[in-house]
Structure 1
Amino acid sequence: MRAAKEKVSDMASAAKEHINIGGAKAEENAERAAGVDKDVAEERRKVKEAQAKMELHEAKAEHRADRLDAKQQSHLYGQQGQHQYPIPTPGGQYPMGGATTTDVAPTTGTTGPTYPVGGYPPTTNYG
């Protein structure tokens, strides 16, 4: 679907380029009829044609960028929200399981370890 949208956008940009080039040729003929030098009118037409081609390439690049951005957005964030990471609570703790962060009271003391600071954590019966 994105490729089809990109093709349609490219075709619209190409049509706009052809209209701009046709307008430049018509202006060249009008300038020649008004008595402007032939070389000056031709140079102005060439400048307008080059500008139309530059605009076409810019539009095509923008269409490619839009397509890549849309493709990357779906890969980064997932389509069903699969990659949702827990947000830490005000105390710095991550909620476990289905715990919510709305009923957690802010901590008033330190958030350090519960075992003695100078000693080792409690050992198990295995060692």
Structure 2
Amino acid sequence: MKSVKQKISDMASTAKEKMVICQAKADEKAEQAMARTKEEKEIAHQRRKVKEAEANMDMHMAKAAHAEDKLIAKQSHYHVTHGTHVAQPAPVSAPVPVMGHGYGHNPAGLTSVPPPAYPPSGQHQA
């Protein structure tokens, strides 16, 4: 059984569709009154059909959205969000510290990474 809110929303969508269709019919009559050839009258008729189809599609899309809202509200107690998981971005490496008295003032060829305190494994200093 539909909820009251969904039923009222559906009725509003249907009323809006009927208003759009009525406006499309009025526009068609105005275009046909100004039309001079049979082809222009047919174009006006086809435009009305397009507007009616768009209104019908919009009404059905709105009804689907109303049903979805009802479903979400109905199942909201199943989706408890006490500890909502938010994906964390990948860590960003910190900039390398610069030797010298300011940024970009290292002499050419120097790096800010200190040499290792002991030789790598497998190599012995002579």
TM-score by structure 1 length? Answer: 0.57
5+ residue gaps in structure 1? 78-82, 86-127
User: Where does residue 14 of structure 2 map in the other structure?
Assistant: 14
Does the alignment pair 1:60 with 2:63?
yes
User: Where does residue 115 of structure 1 map in the other structure?
Assistant: none
CA–CA separation in structure 1 for the residues paired with 2:42 and 2:82: 65
User: Where does residue 28 of structure 1 map in the other structure?
Assistant: 28
Which of 48, 60, 69 pairs up with 2:51? 48
- Over the residues paired in the alignment, what is the CA RMSD in angstroms? 2.0
What are the residue-to-residue correspondences of 1:1-127 with 2, within 5 Å? 3-35=3-35, 37-77=40-80
CA–CA separation in structure 2 for the residues paired with 1:54 and 1:9: 16
- Offset of 1:74 from its aligned partner? 2.2
The 3 A distance-change label for structure 1 pair 33 and 72 is same
- Offset of 1:33 from its aligned partner? 1.0
Residue deviations 1:80-107 (CA, integer Å, cap 9, x gap): xxx979xxxxxxxxxxxxxxxxxxxxxx
- Aligned partner of residue 18 in structure 1, secondary structure: helix
- Offset of 1:20 from its aligned partner? 0.3
CA–CA separation in structure 1 for the residues paired with 2:18 and 2:41: 22
Moved over 3 A (4+): none
CA–CA separation in structure 2 for the residues paired with 1:84 and 1:30: 59
Look up the equivalent residue of 2:54 and give its one-letter code: Q
The 3 A distance-change label for structure 1 pair 84 and 50 is closer
Look up the equivalent residue of 1:41 and give its one-letter code: A
5+ residue gaps in structure 2? 84-126
TM-score by structure 2 length? Answer: 0.58
